[in-house]
Structure 1
Amino acid sequence: MQSRLLFLTILFMALGILSCPAQQNTTVFSGKVVDRSSGQGVAYATVMVADNTTKQGISGTTTLEDGSFVLETNATDFYLEISFIGYQKKIVEPKASAGGRIDLGTIQISEDAQQLEEVVVEGEVSKTVFKLDKRVFNVGKDLSSTGASALEVLNNVPSVNVNIEGQISLRGSQGVQVLINGKPSIISSDESNALGTITADMIDRVEVITNPSAKYDAEGTSGIINIVIKKEQRKGLNGSVSVNTGAPDSHSVGISLNRRTEKFNLFTQLGAGYREGPNEVESRNTDLVNNTSVVAVGEEFRNETYYNFVLGTDYYFDPTSVLTLSGNFAMEIEDQPSTTNFATLEGDQTVTSEWERTEVTDATNPKFRYELQYKKDFEGNEDHTLLFSALGNFFGKDQSSEFTDTTISGENNDDSQLTRTDFKEAVFTFKLDYTKPFSEEWTLETGAQYVINDVSNDYEVQNFINGEFVIDPGLTNNFEFDQKVLGAYGTGAYEGKTWGLKAGMRLEQTNLKTLLTNTGEDNDQNYTNFFPSVHSSYKFSEKVSLQAGYSKRIYRPRLWDLNPFFNIRNNFNIRQGNPNLMPEFTDSYELTGIFFVGKTALNLGIYHRYTTDVIERVSTFENNVTTRRPENIGTNKTTGIEFNTKYSPAKWLTLNADFNYFQFSREGTFDATVFDFNADRWTSKLMSKVKFPADIDMEVTGNYRSSYRTFQGETNGYAYMNMGLRKKMMKGKAILNLSIRDVFASRISESEIAQADFETYSRRLRGRFIAFGFSYGFGKGEAMQYSGGRRR
């Protein structure tokens, strides 16, 4: 507790020191810029402080919606210049002051008739440019003037795809971290669908980071997408409502609201719904020594009634300082019925016994998320920033299950079991980031982060013995997980017109403690690691650019990797955690090129990753029971190539293609058995979007995942297709959606394990999903689809 208080004290002291005025002789100017002829305020006019001798700008700001402004300066020999496109420049020379506040009153500016005649309005086309460690997609008027949603903007970014259900993927991989203005936000979290409250006219640019630098968490991710919002956000009341239905049963209703004034931005979202998640499952365990098998075939459901509420506000102290406070509450009420038929076979596949196992499971899952953030943009340079954030997450699960075995034939297998789970997880993240540009080329970044993850999982199993339920001490325990990660980083960058270099170092100290309270088994890990990163880019021409990058990453075992408890839904196929797992470490190298051919951007990348202490799920076999448990085994070397492009041969047709191929080499030993092998794997995706008359859009996506070898066996490949239709009405304010996921019900996951003394086979099919929805946007809101929070 003392360490937490000390850390918070240091953060708030740093925040106060850096955000307070640097000198006491600061002069604060205020005033209002208006049109001379109409008397109306001129919004977003530039007010600049310039040196009287050099005539160079010192600092500046832009006027608010009503034309008012506030501007600070420490200069002593200066003048003010007010300018706006289509107007004559206005020079104001206030009296010199050694500090204090000066009200300049109303400043009138006049239209420049000659300039207005010469202005030619041209559409700005959205384009991608390379930066040192990221690709930046600048949103042009071809998108910002269409009223498109943020998800539609993302779908135009190379390497990024958004399907018709709103799921975002980067380089064909989901699990992308989405930031708003460089920071996590409830608006962009997986727990809400509030990205629909952001429209293209609010977005300045989208930054794509595939190999994060030392500034970001060393924890491995598939990448980062940062949406940068324009400062001049829309005012007034904006929002949308949506209603959805589908089969299997999936029904929801949601409303999103956004209210913006000069000082406040208030946003909220409410939603409720019900959905079913059926799964067809099949498994087979074969004992090659005794020539016996256990076969299981059944259907599992995860049905949820859910409620979601988001409320937040941004408060603007002035045009350069904003405080954000927001929260999210969600509740899931689960019902998980399942029925599985078991059979035992011997010798020539003779059935010796059959029984049915039914499950009745009920659970309530409350979720809370809140955030407090303060961002300061320093005068004179919008890239000179200070950001402090405090984020909290809570997830709980109160679950009870009843399992009943009923004999069908053969030996008596009648049985009953009860389980109870009381799960609580709290995660707190405190972060401070400071960015200081020394010139247009040189920039320094530094900051710190502290993450606290506190978990308790109280699990109990009762067996039916002699007419009563008795606690099974071998399966009952309380698992406590406490992890703290303190990190600090620094990066320096040079970025010229054609070449740039960025290097940094991140230090992270991890303190992990796990405890089984009933038995006293504990595992304490305390380790400190350095995570360097180096990125470089070179621009050969407007059409050819290259990026190269290196970073060291870490994968810390998650709770469910460490938790030794397991679900007894199928007590012949058990998944179990390992409290003694150590983290994986990966050295990641990338070389990526972007080539523009006409209006088409081609992205080609080569990557190599070397991972130590690889976490593999190892299966062991005893009495026809397979137990899968993660272990640290050896190393893995992966070398791959990826290609993606977006091509529009006509205004009504857009094609997106993603292809990823890699080879990997595994080396490792487990229980005196050597598991060394080489294999390969590839995935591909082709998405086509067709625009029909009457504002009808169709989207068809084909996916393929190849089969690949695993540590002990093989996972089969599969192909599947998703499609959707969308009809815009009322000038885009209303939208009808129809989507079909896995059109041919071909997304079948199969895996096999073949060892000297046993074999296992498993198969899972989720099946086809059909959804139909209607949404309506009002004010400047964009119609959006609400489907509830993502499943945890």
Structure 2
Amino acid sequence: MPYILRYLLSLLWVCTLFSSQAQKTNHIKGQTVGEDKQAIPYVSILLYRVKDGTLASTAASDSTGNFRFTNLKAGTYFIKVKSLTHQDTFSPHFRLEEHFDEYDLGKILLLQNNAYLAEVVVERKKQFIEQQQDKLVFNIENSTLADGNNGLELLSKIPGVAVDESGSLSIKGKSGATVMINGKITYLSADQLANLLRSTSSMDINKIEVMSNPNAKQDAAGSAGIINIVLKKGLKQGFNGSVSANAGAGRGAHLGGSLNLNYRTEKINVFGIYNQYFQNLEYYNSLTRYFYTDRGSDPDSYSQQENTIQPKLRSNNFRVGMDYSINSKQTIGFLINGGFGKYPKYEPTTNSLRNFNTDNLISASTTVTEGKERWRDMLYNFNYNLKLNDKGHELKLDLDFVDHYSKMDQQLNTAYHNVGPSTSLANSSRIGDIPSDNQVYVAKLDYTLPLPKEYKLEAGWKSSDVRTENDLHYDTLQNDQYVPDLGTSNHFIYKETIHAGYVNLSKSWHKFSTQLGIRGEYTRTRSHQITLNEQFERSYFKLFPAAFLTYTANDNHKVQTSYSYRVQRPSFWDLNPFRVYTDPFSYAEGNSNLNPAYEHSFELAYTYASKYVLTLNYAQRSNVVNGILGRDPLNPYITFERPENIGSFKNYGISFIAPTQLTSWWSATHFANYYRNEYELPQEDELIIRKGNTLSLNSQNSFKLPEGWSIELGGNYVSGLTVGISHIKSYGQVYSGIQKNLLNKKATLKLVVNDIFRTNNRRYETISPTIRLIGRSNPDSRTAILSFSYRFGGSQNATAQRATGSEDIKSRL
């Protein structure tokens, strides 16, 4: 790809040009360290003028204790360092001369304040929810509820996020959210992503970032926004780590454990993480289908289906990597992130078909479905970071290769009984071989240039190349022999190439700050239906603008408005027209004719006292992609689900976040969201309007008890949800946890109980011209988990993450 190389070289040349012409300004730097010579992160640094004692500027030390003041005038100054855990410290007076570029204060020694140490540990704990300019951050790591959950269960507890049975996610009522892990798209189908999240322990998650209006630096994919799951990575000096184990039960046994090792010096950081997850689950589902010839009259017939799903999740995940500082300006890193597991399912199902008017039995059957699913997921990353100066002028490069393989061996055996004398149905059997093989190559370059007068320029490029292949085979039993079912087997290859570039310009002045950005993406797709010898190719270019404007009146009042234009590309799985049978009477299939959906999204937020946030949002989407229901043309009692561009969508909403400190021992964070979804669905000669209002509530409460004990109590409630042609009725759950710090706070013992009252069930209704479907799902959500974790090596704990360039694609495989 020589043109990409030319682009990179040109960008480097422009970077150098900007750097050489940037004005020189005075700045001060230094580092805060403790009595053990280790860095003290996240302390306040105040810069005062000696002449009149006024405050000139403020800063905070970063994760390595370093801090900086920039754009200073000549004069005599001193600094004051404030920290809850250490005594206030003052520097000697020093003078900055005209045109003097840099003044290095060196290492500033902070003495520990033992009188407040016990209090500080609690006070420095991050709030569960933090509002940042372009995202909501949910700090999972220190929450009692983080233990005893997998990633999918954890997301269902995040305010404003909804998870359906297939693993698809929505944000504030908008479907089509993109999932990233450490800043990388996952490039997986909804089912594959659900398995990945089920196999990710909440103990391995640091925080979850929800971006309903991402800036232009982020991929345009994900019309509802982006959910970024940030995993833990140690920053302690020397050799350190943690080990944990958990055990419990729902309807079956739950076991898990993890090992986290880290070795860090000034030049090198080596880390490795391994976790294993074991779950025996059991779900109950009930489904009634009404079949219509004329939608304006009563149904002709209906079927009642009951089934039990008994999956057994076995997963292993690991991350190993190294960061090496070549010098003070250059760092390289390597990362291997992998996982493998299996998800076998045993699923007995009963189905009865009856005449609606007479209630006479037409047919009855019992089906046993066995699925043996297994997967392997590998990511290889190389990254390079060049700091062109100490003012934030830097260049970052990421190269990724993702290799994902999954396979489902499926068998459906159906026995018919209690059939009338005029009807004879033979027993049937179907076996399926359903593989998915995906490779992804990603190159990403990000450039940041601070400019004079509080301007900052960000620019970058990203290229991705995806290949996914599915060679599905079905065999059916005929005359006691399995023969190929050529009508449902299919071999499909899909390729997608995206080249994207972005530019962000931000500026702060007086009480205002703004960020304007635009992202351009060229997309080329090629699909090959080998079975039918059909090929399709499509290419298009789109611009995606984003804008943010913030006005800070004072410390108590801040207003922010934002806009973004985004795209929801069909998942690779949805574009594949092959069938996957869930039982003998229903199947799902893809649609190679799907078009992308585009969305305009607006938000207006008001923040009071830096913690209470009121947000208004509006979104309008065209070419909405949603599943529709239909009847098989060869057998009208078999239903199918297929994604289609069903029409347009509008979303109006208001949300409120209120963190509270009710007493010295009781803190809480509350979230309320009220929104309205409206769909316009053209069908034949009429326009169908589907609309509904939703109230979503979430509360997290933390109680600090004596002698190292603490309790957390939380819950969420959703009044109902309209999504396309479906309506989901109200659901919610209450969960609680208790923990005790042991061994001088190096160990923690926790007990967590999820869905205490077993109310997290799903009741739903789906309506199409010829089918009405009413269902109920009872998941294995009430669990009790006991966990123990032990941390060793070092006394200060911090976490960091390294984002790579490919997270945005994996959620679509």
Please tell me whether residue 255 in structure 1 is matched to residue 259 in structure 2. Answer: yes
User: Which of residues 443, 446, 464 in structure 1 aligns to 2:459?
Assistant: 446
**Unaligned stretches of 5+ in structure 2?**
21-29, 42-60, 67-77, 82-88, 114-118, 163-168, 170-176, 188-195, 294-298, 799-809
Please tell me whether residue 302 in structure 1 is matched to residue 306 in structure 2. Answer: no
- Give the C-alpha shift of residue 172 in structure 1: 2.5
Shifted more, 245-254 versus 465-474: the winner is: 245-254
- Matched to 1:573, the amino acid is S
1:147 paired residue number: none
**Unaligned stretches of 5+ in structure 1?**
24-32, 46-61, 70-80, 97-106, 117-121, 138-149, 785-789
- Give the C-alpha shift of residue 526 in structure 1: 0.8
- Matched to 1:260, the amino acid is R
Contact 1:777 1:783 in 2 (8 A): no
Instruction: Measure the CA separation in 1 of the matches of 2:339 and 2:556.
Output: 47
SS state of the match for residue 549, structure 2? strand
SS state of the match for residue 759, structure 2? coil
Please tell me whether residue 322 in structure 1 is matched to residue 322 in structure 2. Answer: no
User: Which of residues 714, 736, 759 in structure 2 aligns to 1:723?
Assistant: 736
SS state of the match for residue 341, structure 1? strand
User: Which of residues 371, 380, 384 in structure 1 aligns to 2:393?
Assistant: 384
Aligned-CA RMSD value: 4.8
Cα gap change, 1:649 to 1:509, in 2 (>3 Å): same
2:349 paired residue number: 340
Please tell me whether residue 267 in structure 1 is matched to residue 267 in structure 2. Answer: no
2:246 paired residue number: 244
- Give the C-alpha shift of residue 709 in structure 1: 4.1
1:680 paired residue number: 693
Quote the sequence identity (%).
Answer: 22
Q: Counterparts of 1:155-234 in structure 2 under 5 Å?
A: 165=149, 167=154, 171-173=159-161, 209-220=211-222, 222-223=225-226, 233-234=235-236
Please tell me whether residue 662 in structure 1 is matched to residue 671 in structure 2. Answer: no
Instruction: Measure the CA separation in 2 of the matches of 1:226 and 1:580.
Output: 32
Contact 1:613 1:632 in 2 (8 A): yes
Contact 2:240 2:262 in 1 (8 A): yes
Instruction: Measure the CA separation in 1 of the matches of 2:498 and 2:107.
Output: 55
Please tell me whether residue 400 in structure 1 is matched to residue 409 in structure 2. Answer: yes
1:697 paired residue number: 710
Please tell me whether residue 279 in structure 1 is matched to residue 283 in structure 2. Answer: yes
- Give the C-alpha shift of residue 614 in structure 1: 1.1
Contact 1:133 1:502 in 2 (8 A): no
Contact 2:738 2:751 in 1 (8 A): yes
Cα gap change, 1:528 to 1:112, in 2 (>3 Å): closer
Shifted more, 685-694 versus 446-455: the winner is: 685-694
- Give the C-alpha shift of residue 392 in structure 1: 2.3
- Give the C-alpha shift of residue 506 in structure 1: 0.8
- Give the C-alpha shift of residue 760 in structure 1: 1.8
Cα gap change, 1:628 to 1:195, in 2 (>3 Å): closer
Cα gap change, 1:236 to 1:426, in 2 (>3 Å): same
Instruction: Measure the CA separation in 2 of the matches of 1:64 and 1:356.
Output: 60
1:349 paired residue number: 359
User: Which of residues 758, 774, 787 in structure 1 aligns to 2:788?
Assistant: 774
SS state of the match for residue 634, structure 1? strand
- Matched to 1:308, the amino acid is N
SS state of the match for residue 570, structure 2? coil
Contact 1:286 1:759 in 2 (8 A): yes
1:586 paired residue number: 599
Instruction: Measure the CA separation in 1 of the matches of 2:611 and 2:705.
Output: 24
SS state of the match for residue 661, structure 2? strand
Cα gap change, 1:357 to 1:109, in 2 (>3 Å): closer
Cα gap change, 1:745 to 1:566, in 2 (>3 Å): farther
- Give the C-alpha shift of residue 292 in structure 1: 2.1
SS state of the match for residue 743, structure 1? coil
Residue deviations 1:732-783, cap 9 Å, x none?
A: 2112222222222222212223456542222211132222221111113899
Residue deviations 1:26-60, cap 9 Å, x none?
A: xxxxxxx999xx9x989799xxxxxxxxxxxxxxx
User: Which of residues 457, 473, 497 in structure 2 aligns to 1:460?
Assistant: 473
Please tell me whether residue 415 in structure 1 is matched to residue 428 in structure 2. Answer: yes
Instruction: Measure the CA separation in 1 of the matches of 2:507 and 2:3.
Output: 35
Q: Counterparts of 1:109-120 in structure 2 under 5 Å?
A: none
Instruction: Measure the CA separation in 2 of the matches of 1:64 and 1:777.
Output: 19
- Matched to 1:769, the amino acid is T
Residue deviations 1:395-441, cap 9 Å, x none?
A: 11122112211234324441111100121112222111111111252
Contact 2:180 2:226 in 1 (8 A): no
Contact 1:171 1:644 in 2 (8 A): no
Please report the TM-score for the alignment, with normalisation by the length of structure 2: 0.77
Contact 1:543 1:595 in 2 (8 A): yes
SS state of the match for residue 613, structure 1? strand
- Matched to 1:368, the amino acid is M
1:367 paired residue number: 377
SS state of the match for residue 582, structure 2? coil
Contact 1:182 1:228 in 2 (8 A): no
Instruction: Measure the CA separation in 2 of the matches of 1:423 and 1:110.
Output: 56
- Matched to 1:457, the amino acid is N
Instruction: Measure the CA separation in 2 of the matches of 1:212 and 1:277.
Output: 36
Cα gap change, 1:454 to 1:735, in 2 (>3 Å): same
Instruction: Measure the CA separation in 1 of the matches of 2:415 and 2:225.
Output: 46
Shifted more, 8-17 versus 680-689: the winner is: 8-17
- Give the C-alpha shift of residue 525 in structure 1: 1.9
Residue deviations 1:549-574, cap 9 Å, x none?
A: 11101100002221222321313222
- Give the C-alpha shift of residue 366 in structure 1: 1.0
Cα gap change, 1:732 to 1:588, in 2 (>3 Å): same
Instruction: Measure the CA separation in 2 of the matches of 1:557 and 1:110.
Output: 54
Please tell me whether residue 612 in structure 1 is matched to residue 632 in structure 2. Answer: no
Cα gap change, 1:152 to 1:619, in 2 (>3 Å): same
Cα gap change, 1:519 to 1:111, in 2 (>3 Å): closer
- Matched to 1:348, the amino acid is T
Please tell me whether residue 7 in structure 1 is matched to residue 7 in structure 2. Answer: no
Contact 2:146 2:203 in 1 (8 A): no
- Give the C-alpha shift of residue 451 in structure 1: 1.8
SS state of the match for residue 561, structure 1? helix
Cα gap change, 1:348 to 1:442, in 2 (>3 Å): same
Shifted more, 398-407 versus 552-561: the winner is: 398-407
Please report the TM-score for the alignment, with normalisation by the length of structure 1: 0.78
Cα gap change, 1:369 to 1:483, in 2 (>3 Å): same
- Give the C-alpha shift of residue 489 in structure 1: 0.9
Instruction: Measure the CA separation in 2 of the matches of 1:191 and 1:751.
Output: 23
Contact 2:628 2:768 in 1 (8 A): no
Residue deviations 1:40-98, cap 9 Å, x none?
A: 989799xxxxxxxxxxxxxxxx9999x9x9xxxxxxxxxxx9999656579999xx9xx
- Matched to 1:700, the amino acid is L
Instruction: Measure the CA separation in 2 of the matches of 1:129 and 1:721.
Output: 22
Instruction: Measure the CA separation in 2 of the matches of 1:552 and 1:454.
Output: 27
- Give the C-alpha shift of residue 503 in structure 1: 1.3
1:145 paired residue number: none
Residue deviations 1:338-379, cap 9 Å, x none?
A: 111122222432334322111222232111012111122232
Cα gap change, 1:229 to 1:316, in 2 (>3 Å): farther
Instruction: Measure the CA separation in 2 of the matches of 1:615 and 1:34.
Output: 52
User: Which of residues 511, 514, 525 in structure 2 aligns to 1:501?
Assistant: 514
Instruction: Measure the CA separation in 1 of the matches of 2:409 and 2:504.
Output: 49
- Give the C-alpha shift of residue 460 in structure 1: 0.7
SS state of the match for residue 212, structure 1? coil
1:100 paired residue number: none
1:534 paired residue number: 547
- Give the C-alpha shift of residue 272 in structure 1: 2.5
Residue deviations 1:102-136, cap 9 Å, x none?
A: xxxxx9999999xx9xxxxx979779998764679
Instruction: Measure the CA separation in 1 of the matches of 2:700 and 2:278.
Output: 29
1:143 paired residue number: none
